[in-house]
Chains A and B, each alone.
Chain A
Amino acid sequence: MTLAADLPLWAALLIAFFLLIGAGLALIGSFGLYRLRNFYDRIHAPTLGTSWGTAGIILASVIYFSVVESRLVLHQLLIGVFVTATTPVTLILLSRAALYRDRVAGNPDVPLLHPLTTPLRTSSPENNPAAAHENTDEIKE
């Protein structure tokens, strides 16, 4: 905290505001992860921390380093770009893996393989892991 004494008051207040918003949202997100009851509910909770949680802390960091070094420091924004691009990828992969596992396990709460039509064949997707497997490949096309 050696450089902090030189900060003007408005900068300190802005940094404190964004830091507390960011950390608070990350905390609420993790709290939701801990508290919610099933996996598909929980998958919504960490996005709080990765959207405005990250944005708040990055903005605080940009303001702090820009004021302290008296020039525009923007490289923290790269973390924001990176997190915005990667979080959806991990969450989509995870939720598809969970859906696949639930279909194989025959969990009745998850949607069927072909939701708009009732399955015609006698073997429903839940009893036929190979069919569910095929469907998961289609998104890659």
Chain B
Amino acid sequence: MNSLFPYPLLTISLLITWLMLAGFSFGQFLLGTIIAIMAARGLAALHPCDSRPRHWRLLFRLAGIVFYDIVRSNIAVAQIILHDGKKTGKSGFMTIPLELRDPMGLAILAVIITGTPGTAWVDYNSARSTLILHVFDLIDETAWVNLIKNRYEHLLREIFE
């Protein structure tokens, strides 16, 4: 990361986004490049937290795991809603102590947990590093703890810490 072109990955994704929306031509490419570089420099001026992934291959593995889990939990939640949505008392809150400290890793964990149907990130206490989640299908609490700690948090710690 140098001071003239900070965040190369962000710059390239912004440029690709621009070209996808505006269509590819030389003029658009030039304009998109200028805007992407300016945006990346603007972000650098804001001094966001400076953590970046160490292991790209693990990040792709995580994406694959999350993709599979989203498909699975979509089916599970759809079945619960269609069959016995009227039954209450099966869902509930859970508190999990987290060892992940990296802000970027926590943000990704929040997106994964909330984006997956059936689990919702409710509150994270950074002083105590505890996470409150709401789980739609709280039959086996240890299975959920296992899922979040071993399947996601372990991988995220390897990527970011």
Contact = CB atoms under 8 A, between A and B. Distances in A.
Direct contact of A and B (CB under 8 A): yes
Interface extent on B, as a size class? 35 or more
B115 A87 contact: yes
A92 to B, nearest CB: 5
B91 A40 contact: yes
B20 A75 contact: yes
A43 interface: yes
Contacts of B125: 114, 135, 138-139
A85 B119 CA distance: 16
A116 B120 contact: no
A51 interface: yes
A115 interface: yes
B115 A36 contact: no
Interface residues of A, number: 42
B51 interface: no
B95 A111 contact: yes
Given A32-B85, A78-B21, A48 B117 contact: yes
Interface of B: 17, 20-21, 70-71, 74, 77-78, 81-82, 85-86, 88, 91, 93, 95, 97, 110-111, 113-128, 130, 132, 134, 136
Interface string A86-118: 011001100110010000000000110011100
Contacts of B71: 52
Contacts of A31: 81-82
A96 B95 contact: no
Contact of B78 (A28, A50, A77, A78): A28
B123 A91 contact: no
A141 B126 contact: yes
Given A52-B71, A138-B126, A139-B125, 15 more contacts: A32-B81, A35-B86, A40-B120, A41-B136, A44-B120, A52-B74, A77-B20, A88-B110, A91-B121, A92-B114, A92-B120, A95-B134, A110-B93, A116-B95, A136-B123
